[in-house]
Structure 1
Amino acid sequence: MRVSVLLALFLVVSLAVGPIFPKSAASTTGCQFNSTKGRIQHVIYIQFDNTHFVRDNPNVPSDLEQMPNLLNFIQDNGVLLTNHHTPLISHTATDILTSLTGVYGDQMGVPVSNSFRYFNPDGTSNLGVSFAYWTDPIFDPTTPSPTDTKYNMLTADGLNAPAPWVLYTRAGCNFGAVATANTVLENI
């Protein structure tokens, strides 16, 4: 089965990664995530764009087979989700945000691409960019004061789309992100 455009990886790491990370305030206050094997110490989410888990051609190794150390680590220590359905039209921003939110772009405000147009009151349109921090308004690199100041990630009700870190912080856990769409400061 081919995972088109996007492969989302969830790695639940316990003893192998535990000693690398120092104890944090969240761990002393009781970050509460449990599994059938006991308490989960770390959740590491790794996302690859356009990576294939299985072979498209039986004679050619899949992308993950060509990264044997990563594949072995996932098989021995984690959980791999390979049933992510990419939205159409497929672009990096929408794909990543779909996997982080669990909903397609029409329900979280970044519907089809890495950039888009928004309407001004006079009927003209301006450039909007999909890569903006989760709680930021529309980012328009062509003007310091866009006419549309609604959230970039907008639900049908006009609210800011729920962020992926809420689950963790409500459970008393720390959350950190590196180079993931809309979870790190962008376009400052």
Structure 2
Amino acid sequence: MGQDPITLIISLVGGIFSFLLLMRFALQLSQADYYNPISQSVVRFTQPVVSPLQKVLRPIGRLDFATLIVAVLVKAAAIFLMVQFSPMFASAAGVNPVHMLIFALTGTLNTLLTIYFWATLGAVIISWVAPDSYHPAPQLLLQLTEPLFGLARKVIPPIGGLDLSPILIFILIQLAQSYLRPFVII
């Protein structure tokens, strides 16, 4: 609430763009439908900044390291700009580049965990309200979270038709984010 406008703008633009990049990474990782209109929009929006690095770093299986590296660089650039232009960070003008990289990596991981948290919550709600929806958004959420649910079901199998795997996912995400929180700036 007490943020100055420069910090707010840098944080918002950096956060939205890194969110889109990490959404692209997560969709590729989960092998979501590439032809879904939402997937197409995410790819189209992020392609100009990812394609130069993809020429050097080809995806390995489902892992697109170029997209992940660009997401970390966007976070690092946002942190650098916040440190340079914000009076709130004026005392930290000489921040170590290694510290900025650590903040960028933890911020990227935190954003990825947040995407999976909300996607899991959305998938749970969709499974109650409209399990057989043909809309692109619910289909994408279910495709994004199904690999995660599959891993969690190996630990907690469904009991009497009740799938408790989202609870395990929520607990693990919250636990990981609690450890990352001290290192997250944006």
Taking structure 2 as the reference length, what is the TM-score of the superposition?
Answer: 0.26
Q: Which has the higher strand share?
A: 1
Larger radius of gyration: 1
Taking structure 1 as the reference length, what is the TM-score of the superposition?
Answer: 0.26
Structure showing greater relative contact order (alpha-carbon pairs closer than 8 Å, 6 or more residues apart):
2
